[in-house]
Structure 1
Amino acid sequence: MTRLSASMEPVLERLAQEDAGLGDPTLMAPRLGRALAEMTNARWNADLPPMETRTVLIGDLPARLVTPPNDDGRHAILHVHGGGWAFCSALTHEGAARRLALACGCPVLTFDYRLAPENPFPAGLDDVEAAWEVRDRTRHWSIAGDSAGANLALALILRRISAETDLPQMGLLFYGVYGADFKTDSYRTYAAGPGLTRDKMQRYWDWYCPAGDRAEATVSPLAADDAALRALPPLYLNAAEIDPLCSDSDQLAARLHGLGRNDPYDRIEGVVHGFMQMGSILPEARAAFARVGEVFQQTV
């Protein structure tokens, strides 16, 4: 099994101490698990990059708009937060949104969408599309997401390819969920974590989508056909090496490259799922945002 990086290991030790006795939120009633996820993720909203921030409505969805001092005036990013389609919010991911905005040099809009299990597929995806439809069209928009948010971001692009309608300029996808195969190399290696586990992912999937629907490309983007993948706008992908989901990104990157695309893909060594949330204390998170910004500004 791969070793944790020298900076990742003390972070996990800290989390183990701070969260001792809290339990697994996926084994709680969704309302309680959601409240716990909000409180524990609040620790990452420290040492935030200063910038203009506004609470707004995008359609009827509560949202946070963060605008960095280096705004280029031309681009913007719609950010879809992770949390297993069931937890987290615009507020839990404000730190990530700000770091993404600063790295890319443009505003980031992150918003609350309907969550499973009360609102299973396609409710969350419908909300992402609703947010996309009412964006400020004076700018060129890209879309970003982490974990389940990366799934929703890519699913939106695939849905719009199928509908032959306007696409994001670019997709920025961080340690995403792209399939429901729990026997991949990374699911086997990191079934028990650290951090995200296979059992948690199986529960998230059971909340989000019944097994009979998981072969749809807008649920499992790895099920998309080659024509749809060829039609994607430029993408940037990364993955956490110590993560049950790592093989999802490996497989998606391999398919894209096999089709002759040159979408950059970085597998970040020694870190766990969700590491980009930890930008206030983890060097690999800060480096990852810098890399995203570099690719974004070279591409759009």
Structure 2
Amino acid sequence: MTLPEPTPSDLIPSERMQWLLEKLAMEDAGLGDPTQLSPVEGRALAEQTNQRWNTDLPEMTSTDFAVPASEGHTIECRLLSPSNANGLIMFIHGGGWALCSRDTHERAARLLGLESGAHVLTFDYRLAPEAPYPDGLKDCLTVWEAILGGHDKLRDCGRPSAVAGDSAGANLALSLLLSLQTDGKTLPDAALLFYGVYDANFQTVSYCDQRDGPGLTREKMKRYWDWYVAKTDLRSTPLVSPMQASDAQLLALPPLFLNAAAIDPLRSDTENLVRRLRSLGRTDPYILYPGVVHGFMQMSLELPEARLAATEAGRAFRELTGN
């Protein structure tokens, strides 16, 4: 189905985005590329550079607890609860399946809670390459089962519920829905998917026109994919690349909200998924944000588009779930 392509002006950083890119370039000069470091070093760098986005946190109750996993480890969780919150959003952080944590995405998760009026549950799933596919997805399933099972820290959150994620977190969120669907288990009422990874096709329009960034690049994404799913034959399976799901699987999904950044190698992943959904007669809302780069929702302290995206995601949660 036809979807309007970004205009040339959409692919030019907004004035504020350009200012911020220049500021980040100065702040990060000499720090290196986390995808070219060891995973441990890369994670440390991601934690360090994301600290700047996680100050001046919106006030709300924060409760840390652990969920045991069948593999013998525990999954560290954090429940963020605005005043008078109702409903629960399970938020899966991005970072190429290999970097970042509930701490790096704290402010973004809190903003989503404020704008949605819901509790937001974040957690630290196992990361690649030490824990490649399907380990991170299994942890997401374990946390979802804890929600359904009425974990004592979650039983007062109420319904409706949604799953959300950014970038690789959006991939895991959509893969979670497909896995639950296949197993005949209870699905969330909706999903909020922010500039996600939905396929392993590095020749899309945006992988070509935005291959060198700014920010995320095609080579960085290839590195993330190599860490997460080294066996390339697995990349064509729906739980790894949700674009490979059948029409029937996509039709059976709960309502989705999708957004994308115009200046992003992953833009076409969302555009192609939206085209597919609309060709099936679905009307899931989709927003393209012009003039911003991948990961822009992390930048709410400095970027108006990030605050707007949180507001529109919160509105989508309420509209899709009737909350």
Q: So what's the TM-score if we normalise by structure 2?
A: 0.91
Match of 2:164 in 1: 144
Shift of 1:23: 0.7
Q: Point out where structure 1 has 5 or more consecutive residues left out of the alignment.
A: none
Shift of 1:281: 1.1
Select 1:54's aligned residue among 50, 56, 63: 63
Change (3 A) 1:278 1:70: farther
Kindly provide the amino acid, as one letter, of the partner of residue 14 in structure 1.
K
- Distance, in Å, in 1 between the alignment partners of 2:56 and 2:265 is 29
Match of 2:151 in 1: none
193-202 vs 46-55, which moves further = 46-55
- Distance, in Å, in 2 between the alignment partners of 1:97 and 1:15 is 22
- Distance, in Å, in 1 between the alignment partners of 2:248 and 2:176 is 16
Shift of 1:47: 1.9
1:112 aligns with 2:124: yes
- Distance, in Å, in 1 between the alignment partners of 2:77 and 2:95 is 16
Match of 2:5 in 1: none
Aligned ranges 1:69-88 → 2 under 5 Å: 69-72=83-86, 75-88=87-100
1:100 aligns with 2:112: yes
Runs of 4+ in 1 over 3 A off after TM superposition: none
Q: Give the percent of matched residue pairs that are identical in Structure 1 and Structure 2.
A: 54
Match of 2:12 in 1: 3
44-53 vs 174-183, which moves further = 44-53
- Distance, in Å, in 2 between the alignment partners of 1:200 and 1:263 is 29
Kindly provide the amino acid, as one letter, of the partner of residue 117 in structure 1.
P
Shift of 1:163: 1.0
Kindly provide the amino acid, as one letter, of the partner of residue 203 in structure 1.
R
Select 1:219's aligned residue among 240, 244, 263: 240
- Distance, in Å, in 2 between the alignment partners of 1:61 and 1:37 is 20
Match of 2:176 in 1: 156
- Distance, in Å, in 2 between the alignment partners of 1:130 and 1:69 is 27
Residue correspondences, number: 298
Shift of 1:63: 1.4
193-202 vs 287-296, which moves further = 287-296
Deviations 1:191-212 (A, max 9, x none): 0000000000000000000211
Match of 1:239 in 2: 260
Deviations 1:147-174 (A, max 9, x none): 0000000000001111111001110000
Shift of 1:54: 1.7
1:180 aligns with 2:200: yes
Shift of 1:58: 2.8
- Distance, in Å, in 2 between the alignment partners of 1:87 and 1:196 is 13
254-263 vs 136-145, which moves further = 136-145
Shift of 1:144: 0.3
1:129 aligns with 2:141: yes
1:204 aligns with 2:224: yes
- Distance, in Å, in 2 between the alignment partners of 1:259 and 1:222 is 13
Match of 2:281 in 1: 260
Kindly provide the amino acid, as one letter, of the partner of residue 196 in structure 1.
L
Kindly provide the amino acid, as one letter, of the partner of residue 181 in structure 1.
N
Select 1:34's aligned residue among 25, 28, 43: 43
Shift of 1:70: 4.0
Kindly provide the amino acid, as one letter, of the partner of residue 243 in structure 2.
L
Aligned ranges 1:279-290 → 2 under 5 Å: 279-290=300-311
CA RMSD of aligned residues (A): 1.0
- Alignment check: 8 A CA contact 2:50 2:104 kept: yes
- Distance, in Å, in 1 between the alignment partners of 2:288 and 2:84 is 28
Q: Point out where structure 2 has 5 or more consecutive residues left out of the alignment.
A: 1-7, 69-73, 148-153
Give the secondary structure class of the aligned counterpart of 1:214.
Answer: helix
Kindly provide the amino acid, as one letter, of the partner of residue 57 in structure 2.
L
- Distance, in Å, in 2 between the alignment partners of 1:14 and 1:56 is 36
Kindly provide the amino acid, as one letter, of the partner of residue 128 in structure 1.
C
- Alignment check: 8 A CA contact 2:262 2:290 kept: yes
Give the secondary structure class of the aligned counterpart of 1:134.
Answer: helix
Shift of 1:7: 1.3
1:271 aligns with 2:285: no
- Alignment check: 8 A CA contact 1:48 1:280 kept: no
1:294 aligns with 2:308: no
Deviations 1:121-157 (A, max 9, x none): 0000000000000113552221000000000000000
- Alignment check: 8 A CA contact 1:66 1:107 kept: yes
